[in-house]
Amino acid sequence: MLTYIVPFIILILVVVFVHEYGHYYFAKKYGVGVTDFSIGFGQEIIGWNDKYGTRWKICWIPLGGYVKFFGDRNVYSQTDQEKILKDYNEKDREKLFVLKPLYQRVLIVFGGPLANFLLAIAIFFSIYMFVGKDFTPAIINEVQKDSPAMVGGLKKNDIILEIDGNKVNSIMDVSKYITTSTGKIIDFKVERFDQEYLLKIKPNTVLSDDNLGNKINKRMVGIKLGAYNNKINHVKLGPAQALIHSVKEVYFVSISSLKYIGSMLKGTGDTSQLGGPIRIAKITGQVAEIGILPFISIMAYISISLGLINLFPIPMLDGGHLMFYAFEKVLGRPLTQKTQEGFFRIGMFLLLSLMFFTTFNDLKDLGLFN
């Protein structure tokens, strides 16, 4: 159990700290007072005050964190500014979040997800520069009999160039693009005898084991791959190329995640693959046993997920704040307190429903439900 819990806590501490520091950075930049910077919820384990009066602390429940602003009542609401003006003197008003211009409030709220994306970029950048990135072309060594690949026209010795419009730079990309595809048909662009062909493959979904031994519903087309000319091409990139590929990876993961969520909303996605903290802890522990590099890589992907989820337009999340600010920009005034409270109840219901569903999936994954 400790082999799962310790890596999970380390990962959560890092990605949550980076997220909250993004809020903190822009808050301090625009002169907003910060009274608390907390990693975790509940009772404080350890904490200290800095010279600016901010209480930095770590709490018992390591499933998130928060930055509390000076005079913070309800950061969604801008409707009680007259009362606020009466309660605070001129010097203190300068530190109030709710009195800041709209663009500053937007940047302070967006700073958290932005920091998560930047962390992922920094991790990929470091890996590509100091460890390297694989650029081995993918060639099909075998097409299984009566498989979707054979039916769709893929053949032995085909070189895979693109999958669903995504350029295949490496043999490693093939499995990634097939797994993250959401359509009923996967488009393969291949090179065969110096000519390019676009083939449409309808994958099978089978219950299989992933690389860590976990049961997953996996999309399979029925091919076995090899290195082109049996040569592995692993390259350490320069700073510019490393940055470009890092940004591309973050973009790909973000878009793929949104497509997956969209497929679930349409009823075509595999909801059994949606997991919560228990599954993340399990996978984090398994990856940590392999080595530090896979652990850092999974940290990048979790950081992207945290940044992306927080941008959903659901009250209680950063995206909920941004949604209210968008209304404020369009209407020229904040939404009424009653309207905001209505949105808040809807958001609470959605988050609790999601929490229940992911926890059920996690427990099912552990074999506690058949």
What's the pLDDT score for residue 363? 73
pLDDT of residue 330: 92
pLDDT at 62: 81
* 164-167 CB contacts, 8 Å cutoff, 24+ apart: 166/252
Across 134-158, b (16+ Cβ under 10 Å) vs e yields eebbbbbeebeeebbbbebbbeeeb
Q: What's the pLDDT score for residue 75? A: 47
**Crossing angle between the packed helical segments 171-180 and 239-265, to the nearest 10 degrees:** 20
What pLDDT, in 10s, does the model give residues 300-354?
999 999 999 999 998 888 999 899 999 989 998 888 878 888 888 888 888 888 8
Q: What is the pLDDT of residue 297?
A: 94
Q: Which class is 133-235 in CATH?
A: mainly beta
pLDDT by residue (tens digit) across 89-99? 878 888 888 88
Q: Is the pLDDT of residue 77 over 60?
A: no
Tokens describing residue 167 = 């350029």
Cβ atoms of residues 156 and 141 within 8 Å? yes
Q: Identify the band that residue 31 occupies on the pLDDT scale cut at 50, 70 and 90.
A: very high
Q: Given this model, what pLDDT does residue 276 score? A: 76
- What average pLDDT does range 116-122 have in this prediction? 98
Q: Name the more confident of 313 and 77.
A: 313
Highest mean pLDDT among 10-14, 73-77, 354-358: 10-14
Residue 114 has pLDDT above 90, yes or no: yes
Annotated catalytic, 20?
A: yes
The CA-atom distances, in angstroms, between 241 and each of 51, 235, 244, 321 are 41, 11, 5, 35
Helix, strand or coil, per DSSP, at residue 295: helix
Whether residue 153 has pLDDT greater than 90:
yes
- Boundaries of every domain in the chain: 2-130+301-365, 133-235
pLDDT bracket for residue 76 (50, 70, 90): very low
Average pLDDT over residues 141-156: 93
Poorest-pLDDT segment among 155-159, 202-206, 227-231, 269-273: 269-273
**Which residue did the predictor score with more confidence, 252 or 358?**
252
CA distance 115 to 68: 18
- Strand ranges for the chain from DSSP E: 34-49, 55-69, 133-134, 138-143, 159-163, 166-167, 186-192, 195-201, 204-209, 215-220, 223-227, 234-235
User: Residue 210: its pLDDT value, please?
Assistant: 65
